[in-house]
Amino acid sequence: MITRTFKYISRLFLILAIVSVFFNATCSIAAEKNTTEEDQAFLYGEDNGVESDVSNDPIEFFNRPMFIFNDKMYFWLLKPVAQGYKFITPDFFRAGVRNFFRNFSTPGRFLGCVMQGKGKEAEAELARFLVNSTFGLAGLFDLTAHVKEMNPPAEDPGQALGSYGIGNGFYIVWPFLGPSTLRDTTGGLISYGVDPTVYLSEAPAGLFISMKGLDTINATSDRIGDYETIKEAAFDPYVMIRDGYIQRRNAQINQ
């Protein structure tokens, strides 16, 4: 009975986790980009002589329905759960969860640094991980948050592939997972391969789903309202999120 209940809860966490990935990405975009479709035409149109790589959207016929699907999942499922979670959990608890999972995701960032030959950044990631995993009680407390040298810009395998000169490829909106590109999808698979959760149990699926569910619901609870801001400000939310995603990834690669 307990095992069956755990399986049901794990499946629910899976749905919530993968839906929230999309909205965590769009919330980050909202903080960096708040333009209308007309602004896009001015910034990236032929008149200013700049070619935009956001135009590589040959499967828009697929992407737009997936965008609408993800949008509905947010308002019907993820947002109510995240609001309830935030209501019953104190700030210090959510901060501890946020710190723990940031520390736990170090392998992906470390690999992103190594793949780009960024030795100094890789050392900083490793040092931060060791300090917070020991003195910070498995990362619940981020003791290095104010140490600039131990907080390099986050890297990931997708950025590393971009640094090799590999282009974005076509834009794609995955159901539940949200905005991506062919290159970033490949990078995401590499990141999954080094996720410690996958190797912590003989039956890793349940543990992986539960932990990712908690991580992403916790993160979403801190960003409730950001996605709504995007929709209200944009002439075409699909275009805004697509272009913002590509520009944000390009900026991360060039940093």
- What is the structure's pLDDT at 37? 44
> Is residue 59's pLDDT more than 70?
yes
Query: Is a pLDDT exceeding 80 seen at residue 207?
Result: no
Whether residue 54 contacts residue 238, with contact meaning beta carbons closer than 8 Å, is answered with no
* Residues forming a β-bridge with 178: 174
Whether the CB-CB separation of 183 and 194 falls below 8 Å is answered with: no
For residue 18, pLDDT beyond 70: no
For 181, phi and psi rounded to 5 degrees?
-135, 170
Residue 121 has pLDDT above 90, yes or no: yes
**Nearest Cα to Cα of residue 70 among 156, 170, 172, 186:** 172
Q: Would you place residue 53 in the very low, low, confident or very high pLDDT band (cuts 50, 70, 90)?
A: low
Q: Tell me the mean pLDDT in the region 52-67.
A: 85
Q: CA–CA separation, 59 vs 91, rounded Å?
A: 42
Q: How far is residue 176's CA from residue 70's CA, in Å, rounded to a whole number? A: 6
Q: What is the pLDDT, as a whole number, of residue 68?
A: 95
pTM: 0.75
On whether the CB atoms of residues 163 and 116 are closer than 8 A, the answer is yes
Counting Cα atoms < 13 Å in the Cβ hemisphere of 3 gives: 1
Backbone torsions φ then ψ of 25, nearest 5 degrees: -70, -45
Question: 76: which DSSP letter?
Answer: I
Among 18-32, 133-147, 167-181, 189-203, which is the least confidently predicted range? 18-32
Residue predicted with more confidence, 231 or 51: 231
